[in-house]
Amino acid sequence: MRCERCNENEATLHIKHMQDGVISEYHLCQKCAQSLSNEGIIPDIGLDFKFGSLLGKILSPVEPDGIDQGTEADKKEKIACPNCGIDLETFRKVGKFGCAECYRAFERYLGAILRNIHGCEVHRGARPGIVSDEGLKDDLQSLKTQLKMAVEREEYERAAELRDRIKMLEERGNACS
């Protein structure tokens, strides 16, 4: 894909911007993105990074409590997928698994990786129109936790919104039974 601004270079940055519910997408080369950032047209997003170093930071092994696992013994141990042979260092550099078995081989690192990238380990995004009972239960539990926290913080308007959403989901769940 070519850069939308200069139409010469390959677009290496794909930026999604949402304002007033409208999503705009920009596909830019590094040079044009830096230029637009300098002009204040798009926010400065630190375009002088190297992707490998960013990925290395994101994929660095950390315990769930945030303590680095990178002891000398861990660094000497070569963790690799038994199926395709890709090792942890290669995965960190490339950012892709070699096969489906890699998910099991690097399982202890995935929780931290997902938290670093997405902020949590559990998908909380859009679901298909037909939601399973388990998904509904998860949503209800999450909303009830949020409701409790909103009441504790005395955010009563937010608590009322959450209460209404909980009631709606509970009614939907009863209708499906």
Residue 103 lies in a domain: yes
Q: Judge whether residue 74 has pLDDT over 70.
A: no
Q: Are residues 11 and 42 in the same domain?
A: yes
The per-residue pLDDT for 82 is 92
Supply the mean pLDDT for the chain.
73
Residue 125 lies in a domain: no
- Do residues 159 and 167 make contact, with C-beta atoms less than 8 angstroms apart? no
Q: Are residues 9 and 45 in the same domain?
A: yes
Residue 128 lies in a domain: no
Residue 94 lies in a domain: yes
Q: Are residues 22 and 44 in the same domain?
A: yes
- Average pLDDT, integer, range 113-124: 65
pTM: 0.34
pLDDT tens per residue across span 147-169: 999 999 999 999 999 999 898 88
The domain containing residue 157 runs over which residues? Answer: 133-174
Residues 6 or more apart in contact with residue 121 via CB below 8 angstroms? 110, 111, 114, 115
Residues 6 or more apart in contact with residue 92 via CB below 8 angstroms? 55, 56, 59, 60
Q: Are residues 56 and 103 in the same domain?
A: yes
The CA R_g of the chain, rounded to the nearest whole Å, is 22
- Do residues 88 and 80 make contact, with C-beta atoms less than 8 angstroms apart? yes
Residue 71 lies in a domain: no
pLDDT tens per residue across span 14-72: 877 777 778 778 888 888 887 877 776 665 555 444 444 444 555 554 443 433 344 55
- Do residues 120 and 114 make contact, with C-beta atoms less than 8 angstroms apart? yes
Residue 124 lies in a domain: no
Residue 126 lies in a domain: no
Residues 6 or more apart in contact with residue 68 via CB below 8 angstroms? 60, 61, 62
